[in-house]
Every structure is written in structure tokens, then in C-alpha cells.
Structure 1
Amino acid sequence: MLHDSRGHHFPGHTRTSVTANADPSAELDVTGRPLALRPADLDRFFRPRTVAVIGASDTEGRPGARITAQLIAWAERVGARLFPVNPKHERIAGRPCHADISAVPEPVDLAVVLVGDPAEVLEQLAGAGVGFAVVFAAGFAEAGNAGAEAQARLAQLTSGGSLRLLGPNTNLNAFEEFRTDLDGPAIALITQSGHQGRPVFAAQEIGIRVSHWAPVGNEADLEIADFVRHFADQEEVGVIAAYVEGFKDGRTFALAADHAARQGVPVVVVKVGRTETGARMAQSHTGKLTGGDRTASAVFRQYGVTRVDGLDELIDTSQLFARTRTPLAQGVCVYSISGGTGAHMADLAAAEGLSVPQLERATQEKLHEWIPPYLTVSNPVDNGGHPAGDERGRKIIDTILADPAIGVLVCPITGAFPPMSDRLAQDLVDAAEATDKVVCVVWGSPVGDEDAYREILLKSNRVVVFRTFGNCVRALRAYFDYHRFRTQYSSPFEDVPRTASPAAAKAKRLLSSGKPLSEHSAKQLLRTYGIRVPREQLVTSAAAAVRAAGLIGYPVVMKACGPQLPHKSDLGLVKLGLRSASQVRDAYREITDAAKEAGAGRLEGVLVCQQVDRGVEMVVGISHDDLFGPTVSVGLGGIFVEVFDDIAIGVPPFGAYEVKRMLGELRGLKCLQGLRGQPPADLDALVDVVMRVQRMALELGDEIAELDINPLMVMPRGGGTVALDALAVAK
């Protein structure tokens, strides 16, 4: 089992590794990884009947006193009985204080541990049948090797038993005072930094409901995945918002994200670690691996998780999901009192990929009953000034919302101008209450204390209010993307192979040397999994090369073949377009001489191959991510693969639909669809190859470190694919 410098194991690297929070009774896939999470009754955590505070204090000026007071107030709000535990006190805050957990007169659902060295306390809690423990103390995996060892001991104390642990190095944000006067679906919040969750929690002050806050800290036991799964099952939760520095385990997160997708609960994430600097900071903060950022983004896309960049976007996108339903139409209409404002908003929306369709002619004719004919009403709609003295303004908004192409109305208001802005805000709120379509307002005034904003817009739980144009259009893009994802999604864990195919045993024999394979052997590996390769023969003499060329059919390609030759063309070890016996004989001599000059080592021989010219060169490969295990990539191939870097990544398991989505990410997709009179490529055959490579990644994860099929020639539609070259490296 591999470990990083802080003692974390990499579950994706070895089939014998254990995913800590998996259900030990769960079925395993062919990689040996679990297909279900370990149960965690988190209702007992968030709504305990009994709470013990270990290390409680009421000594003025001590940090423990403030925390104890906070927990007493929280316990009263949730109806829990709280027991202080501290051998140095007889009473705390007027309550009897107990010497240790064994002296508490009732079974304890939740214990909050405030002592600096919690290991001994956790042993006692486990023995007393406590359900959950929260360890506040820091100085564990985030502090280096000694801290990682101390954290490993905490994890061991909770492994396999009934005690579940939140932390260490966590805050007590789960026990904040949440507003109970806000209606509608709520945001459930998960953070690995308490401070980074504060803006989302504070959004309650502008009317955005937040129901839960899980500060997971270092995740010695409970992790992000546990809370995603739990929150997705809560009826009051409309969206899960998370600030993530790294994942404890890639498989458990994928299982939890899959569960949320099947439940129809969106997940919105800020994930740090896009840059090397961010990744280093995340490790020092929580002692966690951040994982490959492109791989994390791929996992998010596969499970419909929305990734945003900032905490402001996290709030805005989350509130949009919480307050909206499935779109009734794909179109966005911009309604403003200024032509310039409308054009600006519509431009940003279209640039973000949103549909801004023209309104139906009948809709435009009706709008012109209340809007002067010289103003544009096709979309965006310019009213020249929202009517403030009669019912015309509401009629305009209702008419736009009645257009069958429109699913979202966006009204940018760049400044307050009462009474018009007050009437506009009220008309928008009233219209939103009467429709299942989405009504968004961008309140652009930097002041933010206007009555229209504070007293009308923010008091509605149906209007979605933004402060910037950019956040509005990005949130709407996420909204439409998620609901398109939902219509196509089916869990990949339903069909993931549980047992190895017959090809696996033969493939493992080819990889048994633990060394790089030659091209010839790598192609044998591909044949084992039904991936087509050119007709070819491995030869060790010029005469044999001539005979092979005659059997294969001219023209042919000749290549040096050996296990240490990943870039043969750079060394002059590839000859193309050979059309005669004399050319083949000369090529054999030139290749073997060039191999000696290049110090290429022992050759297995020279490959004589069928030449395949017509098609689109792609690359398909396998690599490994420290957290998510084997990954499969597909992109434009050939000699420019590293120049263009046009690659999409998939993390097994995934289905054929996901492969098609991956291909849709590629800038070079047009090359496959037919460019400048070229016929379209055989996309179905390409999808089939990627699915076969995925099967290899799942079944050979312990044996194969890397696979590159480059180029994979994708022939015109109906012609299939041919793997012209391959590199395979055994573990």
C-alpha cells in the first residue's frame, strides 16, 4: 500500500486497500472497492437527545467557557439534555458536573471533546457506547508526521466500532444558531474550513435559508461523503454547498455524489487546489491530498456536481438551485428599463452559452400594447421605464413568462429609483409567486439598503436575487446544465463489473514482468480486450521482413520494437509508405543501425505493419490518480497530443453516455464530425474503444501503471478504429 508523507493511503492504487467509510458488508466491484458507504445515523448527531461536553468549563476568560456556553444554548434549542464532564468541577453553569463519561447517568448520543489530548477520552467514549464524538483540538495530520500518527490513532479508535468521530481540527459550526423563520428548501453546508463557511451561513441575514453546517476538519473518520449522502436524504434540503480542500477517499465521494444525483439534490462545490500553490496550502491546512485537479473536475462532471470559483458564487448558485424547480423551457428573457442594460445582460447570457431566443410574434404584439412601438421587445425587452401607476407592469412580466420558449426571466436593475424600482420589485415578486418559471433579479446598486431590495426582493423566497451580472449568468448556466444532466443520468455503479472478464487472466500474464511492454506486446494486450490493431508481424531479419510485407500487403510501415522505445519516430526508428521489397530491405537495415546509434538497447525485432492512412488520429489512455484510482483519457492524438492538450478524463465506472459527453468537451470534436468535406468519423466505434479501455482500467488496476494508444485511428463512419501504436507500462 502506498502512502504520502502524512500517512494517508491511496485507495485507488491497490486492490487490497480499505476504504475507511465504506460499508464492510457491501458488495465490491472488480477493483475490490466498495459499492456502498458505511451507514451513519447523522440524525443522531444533528438532533441528539443527550450531549456530553468533555472538558467543560465556566471559568471566565477561558476558551472552554465560551464553547460550553454555546453548546448549552444549542442543546436547549434542539431539546437535548446536556451533561458537563470535568473532574475539576462539581458544577458548571449551574449544572452538576461529572468526573468522566462513565458517571453520566444516561446514554450519550453526542460528546464534544474539548481536551488537548483526546485519544484517552475517545477510548472511554467508545467503551460507554457514545454515538458521536467531536474533537475540536488541532495539531494532527495538518501538522506533519507526528500529528499524522496521532490522528491515525484516533481513526483506529473509531474503526469498526459504533463510535463515529468528527474532526479532529474542526470547529463547532454544526452547533450554531440557525434561523427558523425562513421558508422553502434550504442550503446544507459542508466545509473543511470553518471560516470559509461563514459567508454562506451569514446569507441567512438576506433571507437565504441554511439548515445544517458540517465542519469536517481532518476527517479521521466522518468525511464529506457521509454528509453529502445524509443531506441528500433530508426533505428540507434543496441543495448541498461545500468548501473542499481535498477528499479523504475518491470512491466514497463518488458514491455520495451518485446518491445525491439519484435523489435529485444538486451539489455545488468550491474546490481549492487548481494551482500548485493552492494544493500546498490545502495540505498544510487539513493534511489532506488535494488530488489531481483535472481528475476532480472530471468526477464533478460525471456526477453533476457544480464547481464554482468563489464563495460569492457558492452562495448565489446554491440559492438558485434551492429556490427553483426543473426548467419548463430552455430560453432566458432579459427584461429591463434600459436598452443598454438589456443588451449588456443578454450579451453576457449568450456568451455563457444560455439560450436567449426571440419571443413569439404574438408575445411581441401583446407587449406592444403596453410598451411603445419604438422600443425593442423581441428579447431583450426594453420597457423604457417600468409602469409604476397601474397594472401594466405586471401584465408585461406575465406576458413574457407566458411565452412557451422562456423558462427564466432576468431583470437587471442597475440602480434604485423609487417609486419605479419599488413597483418593479413588487411586480416581479408577485409574478414569481404565480408561476413555476424562474424569476431572477440583479440588484446592481452598491448601497444595498434600498427598500425595494431589503423589504421587497429579499423577503421573497421565490425571486432569486443576485448582486452581479456575472454571478447570475454563471448560476443560470449551472442550473440548466444540472437539469440536462439529471434527464440523462443513470448510476454507473449499477453496471460496474463485479468479476473479471476472461481477458483479464491473459492480460495479467502479459504484464507479469512488471516492466514496460514493447509495442508488439502492448498491442497483444489490446487484442485481448477486443481492440483492433493493424495486421503486423514481428521479424528479426530483412528477408523475413520482405515475406511479412508480401503477406500484409503494400504499402507497409516498419518500426523498431523493444520495451524501451516510447518515442520511436524521434530516433528515426519508423519508416512509412514502403511499397517494394527493396525498400523494405533497406528500411530494415536503416532501422537496426539507427537503434544501435541511439543506444536503444536490445530489440525484440522490427515490426512490419499494415499502413492505415485515412481517419482521425486520437489518443486513449489509462493513468492513475492518487485519490480516485485509475482514470481513462481520450483526446486528439498523433504527434501534437502534448501541444494541443485536448484531453477529456473519465473516472471509472462510467457509461457510454458519459464517453459521448467527454468527446463533447474536446475542442477537436469537429475533426470527428467531418471537417471541410471530410466524412464524419466512426464515433460509435471510438466510444466502444473507450469503454473497453475502461474495462482494462478496472480489471488491471493493480497490474498496469500506464497505457497510451496513440494514435488510435478512427476511420470514417462504419469503418471502426485501428490502434496504430501503443505503450503499456506494468506496475
Structure 2
Amino acid sequence: MSAAPESPAQRQAIDRLFNPRSIALVGATERSIWSVAANDNLRRFDFKGPVHYVNPKGGTIFGAPAATSCAAVGEPIDAALLMVPEAKMIEVFADLQAAGVGGAVILSAGFAELGEAGAERQRDVAAAARSAGIRILGPNCLGFANFAAGAPIWTTPLRRPKPDARVAIVSQSGAIASQLEQFAYQQRVGVTHMISTGNEADITIADAIDYLARQPEPRAIALFLESVRDPARFATAVRAATAAGKPVVLLKVGTSEATARAAQAHTGSLVGDDRVFDALCRKLGLSRVHSLEELIVTADLFARLGPVEAKGLALTAMSGGMCEIMTDQADAEGIEIAPLAGATLARLREALPPFATPANPLDITGAAMLQPDLIPTALAALASDTSVGALGFVFDAPLKDDARGFARNFIRHIGEGFKAAGKPCLMMSHTFSAVNGEARDMTDAAGVVYSGGGVQHCVSALGHLAAHHAWRRRTAVAGAKAAPGIAGRPNGEREVLDYLDSAGVPVIPVRLARTADEAVSIAAALDASVVLKIASPDIAHKTEVGGVALNLLGEAAVREAFDTMLARVRAAVPEARIEGIVVAPMRRGGVELFVGTMNDPQWGPAVAVGLGGIWVEALKDTSLRLLPVSEQDVLDMLAELRGAKLLDGFRGAPGADREALARAIVAIGEAALALGPDLVSLEINPLLAEGARVEALDGLTEWRSA
């Protein structure tokens, strides 16, 4: 993947488009709902620059004289909204070029979304725009809104900009962008920018993210994604946003055909189509969510709460049932609820009423309604615990306070506790709740970060914040090794194991026997039970053709197994090239793991780890990362396996040294990278782990056809 950087001229044109000082509505008419909405938005935002109405018929539009072309305006134009029929689109660009327009939004549909004929028309439009030096957003696109600058080119009704906005929205779907903006408004989440990219004939999701990374206003980016057209540019843009302190929260739907094709390799079929993109999210520090509501809630908290230490959460409510709900949810999502120290529990016991039980999550009980000063005392005790990275308090900010000011006073006590905590703190609603101006005023006055997103999404968001902070700390100190290239294509078990051994991977000692006498001699030298395995570059799965014999001891057993195996395999696959039979010492016990690499057409090399032997097929219990990986990456992968407990010893079995395993798997990943892009898959099954002993027992490669 190699991304071509934007030229200064391309970047300047995008800047002119997304932050225009003058705008032309081309094809403006009072008879079109799109044209009316675009004009109303400009007035609602109080756009400061001139708005020019362009229609070949001239006349008066929206109370102003209309020019017959952009060139006829006679003034500089930064950005244009094109509301002209698809058949007339190409000829418009000569006029835009003559007027010195920087960029254009194409509302019109009828392009790539209609199939190959439409795609060809879209390519022609893109070529005309490129020839004219004009950047285009769309086609089939609702536009963009720069709330921060009061500059919208958006073709459905928008609400006025909000102060202190911090979240930007980027979406390939204009309708979804509108829904996100509406939900953000309900939650009083201020939006800085909203960009809909449509068919992406020119400006892509990556260009939009890169632009936002350079803007001072957004502190987080909420991204709705259907597909990625330029993987390298996308990764580069996400890294730029993260480096600028603007985390990207992502909702991705569907799976691309390119990723689905990766499943043709054996490893790909084990991990599934969408798992590679999950691995990309982990590599780039993307926070992947699964609903529109979660997308806005999480991006909002990234923008307003700041870094959350990757420690446990301390949660407080006035309901034992809510505490149990939070515990179950955190457990299901792998979010740590901080275990409280004895000293913390003692402080809570002293501060709370006798009928309250010190714990985390903490049920502060209804006593807090009568004694709100219990709140800062309890929060101070929780915050003092070194295992706590962030605190949450469940309370709904009302849309209107009562005449006695109860809610404002209660929230003030929560604010006192938050200020004294010295750690990120969040007040969250029980369920989804609207947040109006009065609710926001009450929480802001108390210095409280409040979300009406409900416990489920708020707890999940805190988990994303903690995971992102941990990722940043890891990537700050980790450095990926460059894998040297090698010549040749190791094929067959013996060649693959020999190659892995040369690459620093611990492997079982194996020797190739071409005759029964050689097999007997090798087994005698090992002085132990042995395994015989057929050696053939044409046989990937040896057990299916009777090509494996286990636990052989003594000359007679080895000789008989050798002769029987050759006859059985030749009968099963007579066309297979047989090099001989591999002899290796028999291993018993330990935990068998599967390690397989794959080369995804979009995102590049990846590695999967799971339980080995027959279990990898039966359970498909695997974890995936993009290569290269660090030892910490592999330790995280091992912890994600459902069968991870087996690594620590199960029912008296010896445990595995996870650090030794991690070192071996990192070496396997680097060995795969060194084999170059023609490698489809490198698989080790099993990789045996018992205590500090780690050995690759079998290896297999798959290559692209020459």
C-alpha cells in the first residue's frame, strides 16, 4: 500500500471548497426542494460571503438577480453546488474553470450507483473536473456543512451551529449524516463539520479526514463507512488525525469483495471476512462501534472527556439493580470494573449509611437524595484508589428543574466530587435521554461532563477511551521491524520448518527419510517414540489421505508404518509428488495452537492465532492482527481467545509460557513478511506450547501462481 500525497494545489482547492468565502448555487431554482434547502441553510447559518445564483435562464431567484453562468458573475467563487442534470454535468466544468472555482459539490445522482454505464459517466465527469483543476465532492452527495465557519453547502434542512462544538461527522451516506446530525442535536453535542462524500469520484473519506486533521475545531471524528476505495490514503489520514489529537470513532457496515476474497486462503476462511478490518482498527487505534447512537456518544466523550487511563472504572448509582446491570455490561464488553483496595472499602464503609454495601459499582443508595454531601465523599474515596482510571455517576439531568432547584443542587454535589477526583469523570443518564439547553446549563455550571446517551453506550464509550489511551502508550514505544526479503519459495513441511528455524522460530527437529531403512535409522538415533508424516508439496492436509502415523516405537513399528503409509497415500492421490516421509520425535501434552498468516487484498498481511489441531476447524476460536505485530500485540491476541484458560494450565495440566509463545509468533509473522507478496498463506498447525518449551510441529505454505 503506497499513498500518493496531495499536492499543495490539491490541498488548497479542498480548503477553498470546505471553507468558502463565496458560493455559487448552479442550477438554482425556487421550484427545487434541494435548491431551497441549500439557500435556507446559508441564511440560517448567516453565511458572511456572497451567494451567487446561477441559472442559464437568468431572472430573479430568491429575491436576487441570477447570472446565466459562473463566469458571468464576474467575482471570485470558491465553491459551487451543482444541481444540474447528469447529461449536462461535463459541460459545466469549463464554466467553473473560467470563473476560477476551487471546488464543487455534485448533488446529482445517476452515476456509479447505477452500474457500469453510470460508472463510465462518473469517470468522464471526474476527468473533466480534473482537467479543469477543480476538486469535486460526490456525485450523489448531499454536500457538507462547516458549522465552525458558518459555511454550509448542504441540501436538506440544517439546524443553526452550536457554540463549543467539538465533534466532526464524516459519512459516505448523506442520509446517515443527516440522522447523525439530528441525534447530535438531541444530545446537545456540538458539530464542527459534517461531510458527505457520496460516490467519491474525487474527494474520498480519506481526504475528508485529512482536511479535518488540519482544522483546529474538531477534537474527535465520527465516521460512517461503507467501503474504503484507497486503503493506503485512508490509513495515512487516520494516522494524521490521531497525531493531531483527534481520535476517529468508526461505524462500518458491510464487507468488501476484496476482503471476502481473502477468505479463499485457509486462514482467511477461519477468521471470516470482517475480521481483517477489525485488525486494522486495532492497528490504527480506530474505535469501532456498532450503532449510530454509540457513534455520536463515543465521539462526544472522546472530544469532551480527554484521555482515560487504561485502568478500571469506578461506577456509582442510586440503585442496586443499575449497579448489577453495569457490572454485567462491563463484563460482556471486556471492560474492567476496578477491584477496590481494602483501604478504599474501609473509607466507603465509614462514609456511607450502615445499610449501604461498599463495592464497585457502588450503590450509594437513596440516602444521597436526603444527604447529597455523601456524593463527593464517596467519589473522593473511589478516586483515591490507584486501580481506578475513571469515574461514572448515573443521574439524569432533567429538562427543567423544580422550583426548589433540587436537581441543580444535586448536580452541584456531583461536580464537587468530580473536581476533587483528579481523574476523568462522567455523569450519565440511565437510558437515552434528550439534553436541552437547561440540562446543559446545569451540568456546565457544576463543571460536570454529562451525556444523555444512557448507561449502555456511556460505559462502552469509557471502555473505548481507555483502550485508545492504552493503544497510544503502546505505539509510542513500539517500533516495527522491517522484514528482509529472501529468495526462494519454501514448500512442503520439511522446507517450511527448515526456513522457520533459520528465521528464529523454534521448531521440532525433523529429518526426511526416502526409504524404510532410513526411517528406522533416524528413529533409532532419536531413541524415543516417533511420528511419521508424508512429505509432498501436493498434499496440504496429510491426515485426510492417511499421511500421518503417531507414537511409533521400535524398528518393526517404524518399518511397517513407513511401507503402509506410502502405499495408502499413493492409492489415495496417485498424482501427488512424494519426496519421502518425515521422521520427528513424538510430542505429548502441552497446548496446541494454530498460527496462520494471510495476505488481504485491501489491507495487506495479517496473522491469526487460535487453538490448534482439529479445534481450529471446529471452534474457529481465533484472534487476528495486521502484520507486523509486537510481543504485546500477541499477548493481547492470546488473551482474546475463548480457550485462553488452557494456556495457564487446566485441571492439573502444565501452563504455557505466554511470553515465549509471543516471541515465537512474532518471529513467525516476520518470517511470513520476509517471504514477500507472493505468499498467500504460511500456517503452523500445531505450534506446541508446554511451559517454556515452544515448538512448531508442522508448517505449510501457499503461493500465488507464477
Q: Which residue of 1 aligns with 2:466?
A: 480
- Counterpart of 2:192 in 1: which secondary structure? strand
* Superimposed CA distance per residue, residues 573-622 of structure 1 (whole angstroms, 9 cap, x where no aligned partner): 11122333333322222112112321342322222222251543222222
Q: 2:152 matched to 1:152?
A: no
Q: 1:117-196 alignment to 2 at 5 Å?
A: 117=86, 118-122=89-93, 125=96, 130-157=101-128, 163-174=134-145, 175=152, 179-183=160-164, 186-196=166-176
Could you tell me which amino acid in structure 1 is paired with residue 277 of structure 2? A
In 2, are the aligned partners of 1:506 and 1:528 still within 8 Å (CA)?
A: no
Letter in structure 1 aligned against 2:178? R
Amino acid at match of 1:135: I
Measured in 2, the distance between the counterparts of 1:571 and 1:412 equals 62
1:705 aligns with 2:685: no
Cα deviation for residue 296 of structure 1 reads 0.9
| Partner in structure 2 of residue 30 of structure 1 | none
Secondary structure in structure 1 of the residue aligned to 2:427: strand
Q: Which residue of 2 aligns with 1:312?
A: 293
Which of the residues 81, 87, 105 maps onto 2:56? 87
Residues 141 and 196 in structure 2, CA contact (< 8 A), matched pair in contact too: yes
Inter-partner Cα distance in structure 1 for 2:256 and 2:199:
21
Matched residues in 2 for 1:25 and 1:332: separation? Answer: 45
* Aligned residue number for residue 32 of structure 1: none
Aligned to 2:80: 111
CA–CA distance in structure 2, aligned partners of residues 666 and 532 of structure 1: 22
**Separation of aligned partners in 2, 1:268 and 1:617:** 36
Q: Is the 8 A contact 1:619 1:709 kept in 2?
A: yes
Q: Which has the higher contact order (CA 8 A, sep 6+)?
A: 1
How do 1:201-280 and structure 2 match up within 5 A?
201-202=181-182, 203-273=184-254
| Aligned residue identity for 2:580 | V
Q: Is the 8 A contact 1:207 1:461 kept in 2?
A: no
2: CA distance, partners of 1:390 / 1:728: 69
Q: Is the 8 A contact 2:353 2:367 kept in 1?
A: no
Question: How far apart are residue 677 of structure 1 and its match?
Answer: 4.5
SS of the residue corresponding to residue 608 of structure 1 reads strand
Who is 2:414 aligned against? 428
Match of residue 148 from structure 2: none
Asked whether the equivalents of residues 409 and 438 of structure 1 are also in contact (C-alpha less than 8 Å), the reply is: yes
3-state SS of 1:121 partner: helix
**Cα distance between partner residues in 2 of 1:190 and 1:449:** 23
Deviation at 1:640, TM superposition (A): 1.7
Question: What TM-score comes out, normalization by structure 2 length?
Answer: 0.83
Q: Cα offset for 1:340? A: 4.0
In 1: Cα distance, 2:678 partner to 2:309 partner = 49
Paired with 2:124 and 2:276, the residues of 1 have a C-alpha distance of: 30
Of all paired residues, the percent bearing the same amino acid is 31
Distance in 2, matches of 1:103 and 1:397, equals 70
- Taking the aligned partners of 2:412 and 2:231, their CA distance within structure 1 comes to 47
Distance 1:267 1:214 in 2: 14
Kept after mapping to 1: 8 A contact 2:534/2:582: no
Q: 1:387 to 1:491 in 2, by over 3 A?
A: closer
Superposed displacement of residue 190, structure 1: 0.9
- Offset at 1:437? 3.0
2:449 aligned residue (451, 463, 466): 463
Query: SS of the residue aligned with 1:490?
Result: helix
Q: Tell me the C-alpha RMSD between the 2 structures.
A: 3.8
In the alignment, which residue of structure 2 is the partner of 1:439?
Answer: 425
Runs of 4+ in 1 over 6 A off after TM superposition: 388-391, 414-417, 449-452, 458-461
User: CA 1:537–1:226 in 2, change beyond 3 Å: closer, same or farther?
Assistant: same
Distance 2:444 2:326 in 1: 21
Residue 286 of structure 1: aligned partner: none
8 A contact 2:496–2:701 mirrored in 1: yes
Paired letter, 2:471: F
Greater shift, 154-163 or 562-571, is seen at: 154-163
Shift of the 125–604 alpha-carbon distance from structure 1 to 2, 3 Å rule, reads farther
Distance 1:82 1:625 in 2: 47
How far 1:249 moved relative to its partner?
A: 2.6
Shift, 1:375, TM fit: 2.7
Is 1:644–2:628 an aligned residue pair? Answer: no
CA distance in 2, matches of 1:450, 1:232: 29
Contact kept in structure 2, 1:457 and 1:465, CA below 8 Å: no
Paired amino acid for 1:258: R
1:722 aligns to what?
696
Q: Assess if the C-alpha contact under 8 Å between 2:337 and 2:361 holds in 1.
A: no
Contact 1:631-1:697 at 8 Å conserved across structures: no
Residue 220 of structure 1, CA deviation = 2.2
| Aligned amino acid, residue 519 of structure 2 | A
Go from structure 1 to structure 2 and tell me whether the alpha carbon gap of 1:600 and 1:97 turns closer, same or farther (over 3 Å shift): farther
Cα pair 1:620 1:634 within 8 Å, conserved: yes
Indicate if the aligned counterparts of 2:682 and 2:702 stay in contact, CA closer than 8 A.
yes
Amino acid at match of 2:16: R
After superposing the two structures, state which structure 1 stretch, 109-118 or 82-91, moved more: 82-91
Q: How many residues align?
A: 672
Q: CA deviation at 1:189?
A: 0.7
How do 1:392-431 and structure 2 match up within 5 A? 392=373, 395-396=376-377, 399-400=380-381, 403-405=384-386, 406-413=388-395, 420-429=406-415, 431=417
Q: Relative to structure 1, is the Cα distance of residues 221 and 612 closer, same or farther in structure 2, using a 3 angstrom cutoff?
A: farther
The equivalent of 1:655 in structure 2 is 630
| 3-state SS of paired residue (1:564) | coil
Q: Deviations over 1:405-434 (max 9, x none)?
A: 444333334797966545323433455466
Deviations 1:634-676 (A, max 9, x none): 2221122111212111223443432332222222333334444
- 1:613 corresponds to 2:575: no
Of residues 567, 575, 578 in structure 2, which corresponds to 1:601? 575
1:141–1:148 contact (8 Å) kept in structure 2: yes
CA 1:464–1:438 in structure 2 vs 1: closer, same or farther (change >3 Å)? farther
Deviates more, 1:260-269 or 1:338-347: 338-347
* Residues 639 and 333 of structure 1, relative CA distance in 2, 3 Å threshold: closer
Give the C-alpha shift of residue 215 in structure 1: 0.8
Mark the runs of 5 or more structure 2 residues left unpaired by the alignment: 146-151, 261-271
Check the 8 A contact 2:373/2:413 in 1, yes or no.
no
- SS of aligned partner of 1:410: strand
* 1:241 to partner: Cα distance: 0.8
Which residue type is aligned with residue 5 of structure 2? D
Using a 3 Å threshold, how does the CA distance of structure 1 residues 451 and 270 change in structure 2: closer, same or farther? closer
**TM (normalized to structure 1)?**
0.80
Q: Distance in 1 between matches of 2:321 and 2:6?
A: 61
Cα deviation digits, residues 296-329 of structure 1 (max 9, x gap): 1111122221111111111222222222122368
Alignment gaps of 5+ in structure 1: 1-11, 13-18, 27-37, 280-290, 511-516
